[in-house]
Structure 1
Amino acid sequence: MSFILMLEAVNLSAGFDHPLFENVSLRLQSGEFVGVYGPSGAGKTTFGRTLAGLHKPATGVVNVDGRTVPSKGFHPVQYLHQNPQLAMNPRWRVEQIVSEAMVPSRELADCIGVASDWLKRYPHELSGGQLQRVSVLRALSGKPRFLIADEISASLDPISQAQLWQTLKRIAEQESIGVLVISHDKALLTRVCSSIIQIG
């Protein structure tokens, strides 16, 4: 039996000059898909970044398995950006980008659909769908326990969108990775997730 980890947000509030959301609580188990739904500007992205340790909460806490995640070293929660090119160094080849945390196996790259010839290219030489797969490969290479998927398929065509989610669902099930899916598309969340919370 695999050990079940829990990502938990308790009464979380965060924002910039003023809170974008207040007193939001969440529990996400390893292997589970939970959706976050809300209108633009409601703070969905800030919520996801706060869970991944990229934004400091104003109030509340984020725990993994009952413990506060350390600010340095390996972070068990990885954030996937809506626009992957903004999270990549344009001067680096894809091979260097995906190996930033740990060199991924060829088996994992094949499973995600990252072709070997992409590795020698620069980010601007790949399509949006290809870059998002590269982003997923980089996030998974470090063996995270949880992923925050922030509108990661919003700019993809329906076929590419379906392929990306099928791949992520399969890997998350095999590796017991919990996935928080942030989207304004409630139909997508209903298809992909076991439960949905609303912000805003």
Structure 2
Amino acid sequence: MFCVSSLTIEQDNRLLWRDLSFTVMPGERVGISAPSGYGKTTLGRVLAGWQRHQQGTITLDGHPLPLRGYCPVQLVPQHPELAFNPYRTTGDALHDAWRPDDVQLARYHIKAEWLTRKPNQLSGGELARIALLRALDPRTRLLIADEVTAQLDPAIQRDIWQQLIIETQQRGLSLIIFSHQMALLEQISTRLIVAAT
């Protein structure tokens, strides 16, 4: 179980989140909706252990994050180019985590040739798919998706969410989903958290 308790986040002397508490059970899909500029991206970074917070606790099965070694909480950022070293191929980055086969690449609409290219040679949508697949390492237990399909056309977006729902059902993967699209969140989430405005 992933547990967030009394979390307070400030950035640049601005309060973003105060006393936020929630849990995510294995296989659960929790959607988080908030207006633009509210701090969803910062919250995602904090939940993944990428950024510090001011108060509160974040634990996975009772152990505080970040954990040593591979972290089973993985974030796919809203701007996927930030997740890649610009001097290495995307295949090198993917294979640092794990080695999905051709079937797994196809499920997320990834062409094998993209893995021979550097990040600046691919579109944002192509990078987003590779970043997502990298985060789906078999050791991952919670995936934080920050507008992860925003750059994709509707058909591919639908296929990818269907695959992610299958992942939650078959392996007990948990999801935290940030999106501006309330209709999307209502369709794919098992529970919604809506920030007060």
Length-normalised TM-score, structure 1: 0.89
SS at match of 1:99: helix
Which aligned pairs between 1:18-29 and structure 2 lie closer than 5 A?
A: 18-29=14-25
Over 4 Å off, 4+ runs: none
Match of 1:7 in 2: 2
Q: Percent identity?
A: 36
CA distance in 2: counterparts of 1:130 and 1:168, whole angstroms:
17
Gaps of 5+ in 1: 1-5
For 1:156-177, what per-residue CA distance to the aligned partner results, in whole angstroms no more than 9, with x for missing partners? 2222221221122122322211
Report matched runs for 1:62-101 at 5 Å. 62-101=58-97
Equivalents in 1 of 2:133, 2:186: separation in Å?
Answer: 25
Structure 1 equivalent of residue 105 of structure 2: 109
Aligned residue type for 2:78: Q
Count of aligned pairs between the two proteins:
195
Counterparts of 1:26 and 1:131 in 2: how far apart (Å)?
Answer: 30
Deviations 1:143-200 (A, max 9, x none): 2100000011222222222122112212232221100001121111001101110224
The DSSP-based 3-state class of the residue aligned with 1:100 is helix
RMSD: 1.7
Q: C-alpha deviations, 1:74-110, integer Å up to 9, x for none?
A: 2111001111112211221121010222333444333
Among candidates 39, 43, 55, match of residue 43 of structure 1:
39
Equivalents in 1 of 2:34, 2:27: separation in Å?
23
**CA shift for structure 1 position 19:** 2.2
Paired with 1:90 and 1:155, the residues of 2 have a C-alpha distance of 20
In 1, the alpha carbon distance for the partners of 2:148 and 2:66 equals: 26
Structure 2: 5+ residue runs without aligned partners? Answer: none
Partner of 1:3: none
Q: Distance in 1 between matches of 2:172 and 2:55?
A: 29
- 1:133 counterpart (126, 129, 137): 129
Once the two structures are TM-superposed, the CA of residue 70 in structure 1 deviates from its matched residue by 4.1
1:160 maps onto 2:156 in alignment: yes
Find the residue that maps to 2:69 and give its secondary structure.
coil
